[in-house]
Structure 1
């Protein structure tokens, strides 16, 4: 800040009283030698600031390195989980009808026949019926509304609508129903079904001794029998069991399959040359509900057209 002499000179200049002969006032503004103590203090402060800045940069680098290490560890565990899942067939939900191998018409047929039988239903009910994501079904329903096959009967929760057939849609649904009355889950294409059979083939599975003991745990068998069954089961080929009635052939055959696991994925229905064939039969198949999980399978969303 300016000292008293500086303020006096400035005030005199403002009034016009200062002259060149006023040497005292002008000398007070002359340059002076810097104070060595002040200069040393400034240099010391600057050096301290540089040290603090270097320390902050070093800490940021250490934090970045730790974060990179954590990401690498997470990526490694995720890769390990993915590698484990690749050995097990898991049907993943498609993100489009093209990815599912279906056409718009094939899904529209199912929805129209469902509305014909139901009378009216919300978009989410229709999506649950055909076992497809709601986003796909909603797009089809809007297109069917524009084609005057369905109308909005009212609103439904979660930004949805209740849909009802028009006369045009009802007539078309009747024609579809005359060809096939099926209006359940959207079918899986034949190529995907064949791929699932190969992925779940017994040739790629090799039960261990623990698996055999678990499968045959409720039977009384000598160790020699298990030693003979082990190599035969791991061969992945057919077995020929023979013997008199009542010696346990059927019991052994049932438990041989249990040694390979308790579940298998099958599609609810497949489509071959435009014809839908039902595979899942509630009378002969027991559906195993999916367990709640926070792992990779849960996050990837299981394709609901398949049943385990």
Structure 2
């Protein structure tokens, strides 16, 4: 059987600073693009920073999955150079785990009886079959080098990236200031005031690429980091990344709301697949983590903030494997909280003080509201004259003291569009259509 113990004689993982990783420079212009290829191609097994036994284990599982493997297929799945795979194959052959198949134009490899037995046993210990992971120490340095704080956010840059959007100016000003800090942000205000929408649009401000490994090795265990539902791959020629264990992604935007539990903030272990998966905040590193609808979770806000006291203040988090092993990971992200409840009723003053920015989202001005109304009308293929807009403001907003919330144009005009389609009407907003939309959108007192 293959040993699964840590080989303490293996060389220490290569220090990322020795790899000429990209420098962190500030700029008033667009965010700096990640220096592609800043991490050099590993030239020997020691460069991988992973113990040889774990590499052999992965090799056997890949061959078991492929049944008959070629060097090309193993390079594609293990994501390390073929020269290093040949070295592992030679060792596996010496252990009588791997054998060559009948001679063809291309060398093919399969498991022997003992090799198959070993691989099946290994799968019961760890179901991970993917690219070779990177060591935790290297992952930490790469994340820190790609911090969003290396990007200087200015008012002009913010307006350029969010061009065409309509946000209340004071809130946008405060958010721009907050993005230059490492402090968490709490947005609060009326439902429909644009809190969640603003948070989601902020990823446009950090619209560059970062390097992320598929998986991270911790204490000889593998944690899968890549999540296709969260991480958007950027397609580039393969030569742009010399260490293909890393992949290029857009800075991630991770959103969680009422479904959040404390367990989702810890390393999870799939007992069926025997697989470790990274928690939400680790998946969000180098990006944005939005906790939406704060106060609507099954876990209390106080419990959430207690869990995040150290990460929010020290920019690092402490996690635990099911084996009990503890380890530290960077907490290098923009942390946003959003709520339509009274912040003072959610947590005490001590917690509120730790939230560096508390930004109240106010309704739009009438001018901003009209600009948004006309933009949404165009998006929906509708024409709305100034008279009809003035009718909306006078008859409904002013007469009923309804604030100019940014959610109303899309919602009301959506009902208008539905009515136009259903009744085969001209694509023109009329007062009758506005009356109909208002009646079906707002709930009348009974």
Which residue among 211, 231, 236 is the counterpart of 2:182? 236
The answer to whether the Cα contact below 8 Å between 1:243 and 1:249 also exists between their aligned partners in 2 is yes
Secondary structure of the structure 2 residue equivalent to 1:265:
strand
Larger % of strand: which? 2
**Residue 116 (structure 1) shift:** 1.3
Which residue among 46, 56, 67 is the counterpart of 1:119? 67
Deviations 1:164-185 (A, max 9, x none): 1111211211221121121111
Residue 304 (structure 1) aligned with residue 244 (structure 2): yes
**Residue 154 (structure 1) shift:** 3.9
**Residue 114 (structure 1) shift:** 1.4
**Residue 190 (structure 1) shift:** 0.8
Residue 254 (structure 1) aligned with residue 197 (structure 2): no
| Alignment correspondent of 2:273 | none
**Residue 291 (structure 1) shift:** 5.0
**Residue 155 (structure 1) shift:** 4.8
| Alignment correspondent of 2:310 | none
| Alignment correspondent of 2:164 | 218
| Alignment correspondent of 1:39 | none
**Residue 211 (structure 1) shift:** 3.3
Aligned counterparts of 1:136 and 1:304: Cα–Cα separation in 2 = 13
Secondary structure of the structure 1 residue equivalent to 2:101:
strand
Residue 94 (structure 1) aligned with residue 42 (structure 2): yes
Return closer, same or farther for 1:164/1:128 CA change in 2, 3 Å cut-off: same
Residue 202 (structure 1) aligned with residue 202 (structure 2): no
The answer to whether the Cα contact below 8 Å between 2:133 and 2:215 also exists between their aligned partners in 1 is yes
**Residue 287 (structure 1) shift:** 1.2
Aligned counterparts of 1:142 and 1:200: Cα–Cα separation in 2 = 38
For residues 101-112 of structure 1, what are the structure 2 equivalents within 5 Å?
101-112=49-60
Aligned counterparts of 2:222 and 2:101: Cα–Cα separation in 1 = 30
For residues 15-30 of structure 1, what are the structure 2 equivalents within 5 Å?
none
Aligned counterparts of 1:291 and 1:170: Cα–Cα separation in 2 = 35
Aligned counterparts of 1:280 and 1:84: Cα–Cα separation in 2 = 21
Deviations 1:22-52 (A, max 9, x none): xxxxxxxxxxxxxxxxxxxxxxxxxxxxxxx
Secondary structure of the structure 1 residue equivalent to 2:187:
coil
For residues 21-100 of structure 1, what are the structure 2 equivalents within 5 Å?
85-87=22-24, 88=34, 90-100=38-48
For residues 106-185 of structure 1, what are the structure 2 equivalents within 5 Å?
106-155=54-103, 160-185=106-131
Which residue among 243, 264, 274 is the counterpart of 2:220? 274
Larger % of helix: which? 1
Aligned counterparts of 1:83 and 1:175: Cα–Cα separation in 2 = 40
Secondary structure of the structure 2 residue equivalent to 1:271:
strand
The answer to whether the Cα contact below 8 Å between 1:215 and 1:255 also exists between their aligned partners in 2 is no
The answer to whether the Cα contact below 8 Å between 1:91 and 1:306 also exists between their aligned partners in 2 is no
TM-score (normalised: structure 1) = 0.64
Return closer, same or farther for 1:222/1:248 CA change in 2, 3 Å cut-off: closer
- Structure 1 residue ranges without an equivalent (≥5): 1-81
**Residue 276 (structure 1) shift:** 0.8
Aligned counterparts of 1:291 and 1:218: Cα–Cα separation in 2 = 33
Secondary structure of the structure 2 residue equivalent to 1:218:
coil
Aligned counterparts of 2:42 and 2:203: Cα–Cα separation in 1 = 31
